[in-house]
A and B are shown apart, each in its own frame.
Chain A
Amino acid sequence: MFGETVLKEIDEIRVKYPDRRSALLPSLYIAQREFGWLSQEAMQCVAKALNLSESIVRGTASFYSMFKHKPVGRHLIQLCTNVSCMILGAERLVDFLGNKYGLQPDGTTEDGRLSLVVMECIGACGTAPAMLINTDFYDNLSEKRIEEILEKYK
Chain B
Amino acid sequence: MENFLLRNIENPNSADINEYLKVGGYKNLTKSLGMKPKDIIEEVKKSGLRGRGGAGFPAAMKWNFATADPKFPKYLLCNADEGEPGTFKDRPILEKNPHLLIEGMVISGYALGSEYGYIYLRGEYPQAKDILNEAIKQAYEKKYLGDDILGKGVKFHLSVYQGAGAYICGEETALIESIEGKKGQPRSKPPFPVNVGAWSMPTIVNNVETLSNVPYIMEIGGDAYSNIGSKDCPGPKLFSVSGYVEKPGVYELPMGISLRDIIYKHAGGIKDSKKLKAVIPGGISTPVLPADGIDCAMDFVSMPKAGSMLGSGAVIVLDESVCMVRVAYRALKFFEHESCGKCVPCREGTDWLRKILERIENGKGSEGDIYLLSDVAGLISGRTFCPLGDGAAGVVTGMIKHFRNEFEEHIKNKKCVVS
Report A's interface with B, CB cutoff 8 A.
16-19, 21-26, 28-29, 59-60, 63-67, 78, 81-84, 86-88, 119-128, 132, 135, 137
With a cutoff of 8 Å between Cβ atoms, the chain A residues found around residue B69 in the complex are: none
Binary flags per residue of B157-174, CB closer than 8 Å to A gives 1, else 0: 001011111110000000
The distance in angstroms between the C-alpha atoms of A126 and B327, with both chains bound, is 17
Q: Which B residues have a C-beta under 8 Å from some C-beta of A?
A: 82-88, 91, 122-127, 159, 161-167, 178-184, 199, 240-244, 248-250, 280, 284, 314, 316, 318, 322, 326-327, 330-331, 334, 337-338, 340
**Besides the contacts A25-B161, A82-B284, what 13 more A-B pairs have beta carbons closer than 8 Å?**
A60-B182, A64-B163, A65-B164, A67-B165, A83-B86, A84-B85, A84-B86, A88-B243, A120-B83, A122-B124, A123-B91, A123-B124, A124-B88
Name the residue on A nearest B319 (C-beta).
A87
A126 to B317: give the CA distance in the assembly, Å: 11
In the complex, the answer to whether B85 meets A66 with C-beta atoms within 8 Å is: no
Closest to A87 in B: B322
Contact A126 B162, beta carbon cutoff 8 Å:
no
Q: How far is the CB of A133 from chain B (nearest CB, A)?
A: 11
Given A21-B180, A25-B162, A25-B164, do A125 and B83 touch, yes or no (CB 8 Å)? no
Report the minimum CB–CB distance from A26 to chain B (whole Å).
Answer: 7
CB distance from B99 to the nearest CB of A (A): 20
Residues of B near A127 (CB, < 8 A) are 248
CA distance A51 to B242 in the complex (A): 46
Supposing A64-B164, A64-B165, A126-B248 touch, asked if A121 and B83 sit within 8 A by C-beta, the answer is: yes
Closest Cβ–Cβ distance, residue A25 to chain B (whole Å): 6
B178 touches A83 (CB 8 A): no
Given the complex, which residues of B lie within 8 Å of A83, measured CB to CB? 85-86, 243, 280, 284, 316, 327, 330-331
A84 near B164 with CB under 8 A, answer no
Q: What is the distance, in angstroms, from A141's C-beta to the closest C-beta of chain B? A: 14
How far, in angstroms, from A17 to B356 measured CA to CA in the complex?
A: 45
| Docked complex Cα distance between A16 and B68 (Å) | 26
Q: Are B316 and A63 in contact (CB under 8 A)?
A: no
A25-B161, A84-B242, A126-B241 in contact; A120/B167 too (CB < 8 A)? yes
Contact yes or no, B83 A135, CB < 8 A: no
Checking A18, A23, A26, A121 against B85 with a beta-carbon cut-off of 8 angstroms, the contacting residue is A121
Question: Which chain A residues lie closer than 8 Å to B167 at the CB level?
Answer: 120
A125 touches B183 (CB 8 A): no
**8 intermolecular pairs with C-beta atoms under 8 Å apart:** A19-B181, A22-B179, A26-B162, A63-B166, A66-B124, A87-B244, A119-B124, A123-B87
Given A121-B83, A121-B85, A123-B87, decide whether A132 and B126 contact each other with a Cβ distance below 8 A. yes
Chain A contacts for B82, CB-based, 8 A: 123
Task: Kindly list chain A residues whose C-beta atoms are within 8 Å of the C-beta of B340.
Answer: 63
Are A64 and B166 in contact, CB atoms less than 8 angstroms apart? yes
Alpha-carbon separation in the docked complex, A127 to B127 (Å): 17
On whether the beta carbons of A60 and B181 are closer than 8 Å, the reply is: yes
Judging by beta carbons under 8 Å apart, are B316 and A66 in contact?
no
| 6 closest Cβ pairs, A-B complex | A24-B181, A64-B164, A66-B165, A125-B242, A121-B85, A21-B181
- B85:A82 contact, CB within 8 angstroms: yes
A63: B residues at CB distance < 8 A:
166, 183-184, 340
What is the chain B residue whose CB lies nearest that of A24? B181
| Contact across chains for B126 and A135 when beta carbons are under 8 A apart | yes
Which partner residue on chain A sits nearest B326 by CB separation?
A86
Known: A22-B179, A29-B164, A65-B164. A86 touches B330 (CB 8 A): yes
Q: Which residues of B contact A23 (CB under 8 A)?
A: 181
Q: Which residues of B contact A122 (CB under 8 A)?
A: 124
A84–B122 Cα gap in the complex (Å)? 19
Closest to B322 in A: A87
The smallest C-beta distance from B93 to any residue of chain A, in angstroms, reads: 12
Q: Could you tell me if A126 and B164 are in contact, using CB atoms closer than 8 angstroms?
A: no
Q: Is the CB of A123 within 8 A of B125?
A: yes
**What chain B residues lie within 8 Å of A121 (beta carbons)?**
83-87, 284
A126 touches B242 (CB 8 A): yes
B334 & A82 in contact (Cβ 8 Å cutoff) = yes
B199 & A19 in contact (Cβ 8 Å cutoff) = yes
Q: How far is the CA of A84 from the CA of B85 in the complex (A)?
A: 8
Instruction: Decide if A65 touches B181 in the complex (CB within 8 Å).
Output: no
**Contact present for A125 and B240 (CB under 8 Å):** yes
Rounded to whole angstroms, the CA-CA distance of A26 and B316 in the bound complex is 33
A38 to chain B, nearest CB (A): 11
CA distance A125 to B315 in the complex (A): 10
Is B248 in contact with A16, judged by CB distance below 8 angstroms?
no
| Complex: chain A residue closest to B157, CB-CB | A16
Choose one: A16, A19, A132; the contact of B159 (CB below 8 Å).
A16
Out of B88, B159, B337, name the residue touching A120 (CB < 8 Å): B337
Contact: B164 with A67, CB < 8 Å? yes
> Which B residues touch A65, using CB under 8 A?
164-166
Q: How far is the CB of B398 from chain A (nearest CB, A)?
A: 14
